[in-house]
């Protein structure tokens, strides 16, 4: 529980189990999605799993509705970028380049921050330094992809997720 308390702000979906119920307060202190007494029945376990699925679905809908843009600082002002206009994000140490069809924005941020703002259904991490918009990828090669006439490397650890997310006939 101590390690989980330290990570309670992470996006973990936890189902806590206990035989006596004494740990219930601790479980909810670490933002557990559900708490179950042992021995757990199959129907009760399925209910807990459905709770996680429902929670994830509502979080995804929340991201997709009304959040179709983000603001970036540029020359002392805030500029709105519509997510549909972004086709690539590139990491540069403490900065990221956000590529749109009309312009490249260099922003002081991390990939993790930017990735959390992008819709997971439209964007995918393809390399430790790149996030690509799925519907703008025109070609995939052995270790790279082409997006808006740019060649972007595909990291070995990201390749399977990328291939799984694409519709391949």
Long-range contacts from 155-159, C-beta under 8 angstroms, 24+ separation: 155/126, 155/127, 155/128, 158/124, 158/125, 158/126, 158/127
pLDDT 10s digits, 6-28: 444 456 778 888 888 777 777 77
Report yes or no: 99 and 131 within 8 Å, Cβ to Cβ.
no
Q: Is the dihedral of CA 57, 84, 89, 140 positive or negative?
A: positive
Among the ranges given (11-20, 129-138, 140-149), the one the predictor scored with the smallest mean pLDDT: 11-20
pLDDT 10s digits, 32-54: 778 888 888 888 888 888 887 77
> In b/e form, how buried is each residue of 106-127, taking b as 16+ CB within 10 angstroms?
ebebebeebeeebeeeebbbbb
- Domains of the chain are 2-64 (no CATH), 69-165 (2.40.50.1020)
pTM: 0.60
């Amino acid at each position: 529980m101590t390690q989980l308390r330290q990570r309670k702000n992470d996006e973990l979906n936890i189902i806590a189990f206990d035989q006596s119920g004494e740990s219930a307060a601790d479980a909810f202190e670490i933002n557990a999605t559900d708490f179950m007494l042992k021995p757990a029945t199959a129907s009760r376990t399925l209910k807990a799993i459905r709770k996680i699925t429902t929670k994830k679905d509502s979080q995804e809908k929340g991201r997709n509705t009304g959040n179709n843009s983000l603001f970036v600082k540029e020359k002392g002002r805030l500029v709105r970028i519509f997510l549909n206009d972004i086709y690539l994000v590139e990491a540069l140490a403490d900065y990221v380049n956000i590529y749109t069809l009309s312009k490249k924005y260099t922003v002081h941020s991390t990939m993790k921050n930017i990735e959390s703002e992008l819709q997971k259904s439209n964007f995918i991490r393809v390399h430790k330094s790149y996030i690509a918009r799925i519907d703008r990828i025109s070609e995939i090669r052995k270790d790279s992809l082409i997006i808006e006439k740019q060649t972007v490397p595909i990291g070995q650890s990201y390749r399977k997720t990328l291939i799984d997310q694409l519709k391949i006939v």
